[in-house]
Structure 1
């Protein structure tokens, strides 16, 4: 009942301490002091106020508390910002016999990420009574033992420290024994039983004593053990050790079974009374028996198990030496074993907070994670240094007491490395040093810093004309090195003009996959080339884009049949009526059929053939020029009416053709126009002088007009050349003119005169323009007629092709030939050609 009263008084004292908690900030640390065994929910201190945080910061900044002890003894009252006790705190379980017991807490707040260190000192209360390892101790003392001899007794153990630990011992009254307190190293008090008066076995053979250990707490606690002294007869000399106290230092990594010390005792008796056996004292705990072994005959102490400095830096062993006499006598000594620390614990890296994902554009010094380092060894063996790999974009920033922040030290690029495994190496200062590694994964979040990129800056697409509307033209593709929404690409066509219409009226694009489709069929004769400007745009914020150009070239198909220019079918129907004198000789030019084809290239190469004739031996048609000539002289036997069916074909696939019918009437006395002209010009006329005057005036007028025309054209060429809008080229410059989009095509008759001239203009990216010049069908003399656009062909290649394909042609260009092409302001070309025929 007395002990229960003490306990109630103790709890009342604890509640009084609860209202007088103290905290202090030392070297930037917040420190509290509380007694152990506080009830759950007891307030330690106002943590939010002491750290300068508001109550809203507890939720907004995700304040959390972590204990280095492993168990969560404290928590934070989110409503009041107070640090409260979360679990039972037993100082003895946490710190053992250590004089100071401090729990270190780490308070982590986010946004920004900060670490605060809190120390809570746990004060000891007298909640443990002194305890003896055994409830009863037996001593055998010979009655002949001289007074003054002392016998060491078992010390009581109290888990409390300081003033709450064992303070004194008391012994129940006995006329033969008294208690003596002996102080040893560390201010420890050891009780000894002293024989004060000689024993008399016959008077009292057994003495029962009570040894009480009393602590210094308030209220006082105590522990009791019983000592039974049996009085023995005879054997009046006890074994005596050479030294009452042995000190030895042993490294904690010493090998098992190695001898660390040899104790020695002597006995003045002889025979069996002097034979000594060594043994550990009866109160030796099992923890020591598992570490040390004592040889009973030699007194050698060896290691039976491993030593651990971090667990117990020093051991105290009580040894007894007993003789074999009757009654047996025993002597006592104590051994202090000091464990020498060895660097046998590798440093440990503890992750204080989980690493946060880092944006790839994060500035240098951004906190990634919080870590701490610790080593269970002491001295230099416990000093830890951390290092990161070379060329790492991260660094360690020391905060306090082996706590570090992992921060960025260089620019990051997610497209280069999307995730880092930061390998941190911790090394202590022991000899040899020990180290450990910890890998911290850090993911890099994407920032939209890469625009979409097409596989190539421009694409060339060749499309046949007359295609099916809605068919796919081409598929462009772009990639984005970013991730997620930043890498999602949509395609669109930038607005531009094609023949004064928006390009979107010609084609459209699938915004998801970049496929380009035609809106309608294309006609090469109307449109030869156009451009599509495609844009790829990501969905980042802000979005980025990239452009590419698609050049669409329309390929000609043979979809136009040759069209007859002369004889004109509109004026004369499907046939032409010609007259020819019967006096015509061989190779007489009857007429010249002229046709053109709206296609280009091989599809526009026209050939003429006599399909049907009344007399096939009389007429022939030139394959290339369409000239109808006599193969022989006309005879009297030939019919006066001849019919010719001429077929005109192109060189396309499939071949397209047209026909024209020529009706020839053979007449007597019909003269050739040229001869009649010459005859008429030779005849004298009554009005010859007037005609001569008219001719002179006409020639002068034509000369003046030609001169004015030439000057105007020259001025325009010079003006256009200054504005980079013209092209003037002479024959001597053609060798250096390599642009395949400005060229000239010339087709000749087999007998020399030019059939037609084709001039092409425009560049690769604009609509080409071409003009053809054809000879008069009724004359061998050249005159030019401008007609429709045609395809693009290199001038030098045309010349060489014509030269090779028409070996029977006799045309040449001589040194005095002049070729000049000028682009006028209205976009047309002026062609000046001076050609000297072999004829």
Structure 2
């Protein structure tokens, strides 16, 4: 700060010296006997002659931010009619007259009494006038002039934002534009280098660089990896005076985040997964989960799972849980411990979205072996047949063996089986079963003519776990024996007319009779019809056997 003050003081002195020398030169030129002519260019560029100008004025300059002990001499007004006897009075009016700028009405010297700031106001317009001290009669026409505040480098550059945030894809090429930061300087850009800014990077190398003139931040290293480092903190400096020594500076912080690209394939953390499933599990039940790790995020890290090989492809399936990014192995069909106790699957994990720019990093998939052990479950007994059909003759004595059912425990323990009849299917208790060997017997004689088929159900349960039971239907056919005599359907009567000797009746049917038998066909029809013994020799009537359930009685001719 001390150096700045010294520089400001030197500039003030230099400015005063230059203006004093210019003013003295002007004075010498206007002390000639003739009036000084001031030339101005008109609107169209022509030179206008302004005559009878008898006093000197000029455009003045004052250095801003002057902090010396004495007021700053801005300049001097002087008329060539001023003989130095004090009869001329110089008057100053306009912007800042009397407050900022004061004039010695005798000498015409103008001083600035306050420190000026160009950034607050760059120039002041004043009016100069020379009058007779006694009468206040104007001796010269009033003339307007300007005091310009000369800029010094007193304002550091300021960025539009204190902090910036930007994103750039990982593995971007060197020179990829990230963001542009911009600073401004309140100093005069038309004077010197006070507002000429140069950008440089203070923190963030060697990863990033900044263009000195534009403030554009670019990547400086190839293959920056988000998975290794995601966020970078960069500090950018803007310095005025073209970046040279003595210039003022300002800084801003830029947080740069590497966004993700799909540059990493999924990878299983282990080569083999061990799982198990009970043989009692139902299809759709979850067996286990696998997970391939992908350090990418978002859609770049999405993984889908498939079974590509193995002896369990028909029995197991795999789905993708997109919330956890896991592969869920499920049972597709029932498994049987007694048939096969272990299966092996080859599971593949692959990225859903692949970036062609990084295809050389592939393949974007991985495989793992999944071994599934089938666990034994306490299964219910299994009958050797899905149903049974047995036969027994009707009227067989109680205790007659009808047949046998057979079940076994499919488990390795091979528990003993106990049999029983579902009494809801044998309300009359026609049958009993041996609980140990499954033989079914009758408890009473059966009548086929009442019920030809009997249907019962038999339970088989493990002796050590009665809850594990199976049920099988048993159909029992009652076989017929010839235990029913035929019966006529109804009493019969036949009528014939007395025979006419001229028209004798012979072999004319009198009545058709029929009979029925409750026994089965093999033991019933066909029937044999005949006349009872007491009339079998009657020559007037005969019975014609139709070899069926009916026969006809006919009359024979007289004398025959």
Q: Give TM class, smaller chain.
A: 0.3 to 0.5
Task: Give the number of the structure with larger relative contact order, counting CA–CA contacts within 8 Å between residues 6 or more apart.
Answer: 2
**Greater gyration radius:** 2
When normalised by structure 2's length, the TM-score is 0.47
When normalised by structure 1's length, the TM-score is 0.33
- The structure richer in helix per residue is 1
